[in-house]
């Protein structure tokens, strides 16, 4: 295996709605910031990969337009996943294993404000049994939340405690759009929207983008004083139908975590792509984290959820903390599909 590390990470100042900038305009300063961090020129990047969703903008091949943020002349080697950019990072990691290029730039972006995200996500569901009923994104999540509470004996208060901790952590994150001090009592006074979930259990609608730069062995050491080495990365998927799964657990997360070696040593911090409060508890169990690990120090997706960049941001946030000396070993998790269908786990370490 070729050693690969995260050597730069930049993200937009996320907002609930950015009506004045298109995707390219949103991305360009973030790309520039990441390249500057790494001290690299555009032409030095060996491979580019992006993650986005055409349904957000409502036009086909919108990701091609976004390439203007990178500049595709002279020709570049480039790919795209119609998925969270955490999977674009996975593709870039695989690409770097070939050994002919030693840097890769990964970006993800999404403007959830343009349409009705909760119904756009319905369009990812099977067209025979699910989509005709129009279960929205929060309804699907709420079914999993109830299954989790039923199976574990936990309560809506446990969900509220996740929100309290997330908002407190987000207070020191300049990119968070939901942050601050609150209490479980205050949150529980709020009416449920789709019970057992409240608005506070759900991620905010967010426009934003993120960029990660990867580099191999010697190049990484030349670029960064303390690269965040990807010591393990794996992704696993479960059946699409939520009716055939045990919704109280995340088998695919546990499998990916095992193969990535998440539990092989002490975990200092974990960034999880848990869009809903109960997902954090389910993923935390699946990753096998003990109480010593700091969970979502950025505030996580409950603080800012730029769809298609949110998973990549988990890897970037974890890597930034490793590189800054805020920990020696981190686990980053990304998720895709309804009710945690598809999960990616990466283990990041400093030297």
Partner 1 sequence: MGDGAGETLIDEHVLEFPGGYKRSVGPVVGRFLTGLRDQQLVGVRTPAGRVLVPPAEYDPETSAAVGERPEDFVPVGPEGVVTTWAWVREPRPKHPLDRPFAWALIRLDGADTGMLHALDAGTEDAVHTGMRVRPRWRAERVGHITDIECFEPA
Burial class (CB in 10 A: 0-12, 13-18, 19+), 13: middle
1 binds partner 1 (CB under 8 A): no
Residue 127: exposure state from Cβ atoms within 10 A (0-12, 13-18, ≥19): exposed
Q: Which is nearer to partner 1, 238 or 349 (CB)?
A: 238
> Closest separation between CB of residue 289 and partner 1, Å?
25
**Window contacting partner 1 (CB under 8 A); options: 124-132, 224-232, 261-269, 284-292:** 124-132
DSSP per-residue letters across 78-89: EEEESS-HHHHH
Residue 16 is a binding residue for partner 1 (CB under 8 A)? no
In the complex, minimum distance from the CB of residue 115 to partner 1, in angstroms, rounded to a whole number: 13
3-state class (DSSP) for residue 93? helix
How many Cα atoms within 13 Å fall on the side-chain side of residue 62? 18
Q: Does 21 bind partner 1 (CB under 8 A)?
A: no
Among 191, 225, 290, 291, indicate the residue that binds partner 1 (CB under 8 A): 191
Q: By CB under 8 A, is residue 203 in contact with partner 1?
A: no
Q: How far apart are CA 271 and CA 273, in angstroms?
A: 7
Residue 123 as a binder of partner 1 (CB under 8 A): the answer is no
For position 61 contacting partner 1 by CB under 8 A, the verdict is: no
Q: Residue 265 CB, nearest distance to partner 1 (Å)? A: 32
Instruction: Find out whether 323 and 226 touch, Cβ atoms under 8 Å.
Output: yes
The residues, any chain, with a CB within 8 Å of residue 59's CB and separated by 6 or more, are none
Nearer to partner 1, 154 or 221 (CB): 154
Q: With binding defined as CB under 8 A, does residue 244 bind partner 1?
A: yes
Residues that bind partner 1 (CB under 8 A): 118-119, 127-130, 132-136, 139, 142-147, 150, 191-197, 238-239, 241-245, 247
């Amino acid at each position: 295996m070729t050693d690969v590390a995260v050597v730069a990470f930049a993200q937009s100042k996320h907002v609930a709605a950015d009506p004045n900038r298109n995707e390219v305009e949103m991305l360009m300063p973030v790309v520039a910031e990441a390249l500057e961090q790494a001290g690299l020129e555009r032409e030095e990047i060996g491979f580019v990969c992006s993650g986005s969703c055409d349904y957000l903008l409502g036009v086909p091949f919108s990701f091609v337009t976004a390439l203007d943020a990178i500049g595709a002349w002279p020709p570049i080697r480039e790919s795209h996943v119609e998925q969270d950019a955490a999977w674009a990072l996975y593709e870039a990691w695989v690409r770097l294993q070939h050994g002919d290029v030693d840097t890769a730039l990964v970006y993800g972006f999404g403007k959830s404000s343009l349409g009705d995200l909760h119904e756009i996500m319905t369009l990812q569901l099977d067209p025979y049994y699910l989509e005709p009923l129009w279960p929205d994104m929060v309804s699907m999540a709420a079914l999993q939340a109830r299954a989790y509470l039923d199976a574990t004996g936990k309560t809506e208060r446990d969900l509220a405690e996740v929100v309290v901790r997330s908002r407190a952590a987000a207070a020191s994150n300049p990119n968070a759009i939901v942050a601050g001090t609150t209490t479980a009592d205050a949150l529980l006074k709020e009416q449920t929207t789709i019970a057992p979930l409240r608005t506070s259990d759900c991620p905010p609608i967010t426009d934003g983008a993120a960029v990660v730069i990867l580099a191999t062995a010697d190049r990484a050491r030349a670029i960064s004083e303390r690269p965040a080495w990807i010591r393990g990365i794996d992704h696993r998927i479960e059946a699409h139908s939520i009716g055939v799964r045990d919704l109280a657990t995340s088998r695919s997360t546990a499998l990916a975590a095992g193969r990535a070696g998440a539990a092989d040593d002490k975990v200092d911090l974990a960034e999880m792509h848990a869009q809903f409060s109960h997902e954090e508890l389910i993923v935390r169990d699946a990753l096998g984290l003990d109480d010593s690990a700091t969970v979502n120090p950025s505030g996580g997706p409950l603080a800012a959820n730029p769809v298609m960049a949110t998973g990549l941001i988990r890897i970037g946030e974890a890597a930034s903390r490793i590189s800054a000396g805020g920990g020696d070993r981190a686990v980053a998790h990304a998720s895709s599909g309804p009710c945690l269908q598809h999960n990616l786990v990466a283990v990041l370490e400093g030297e």
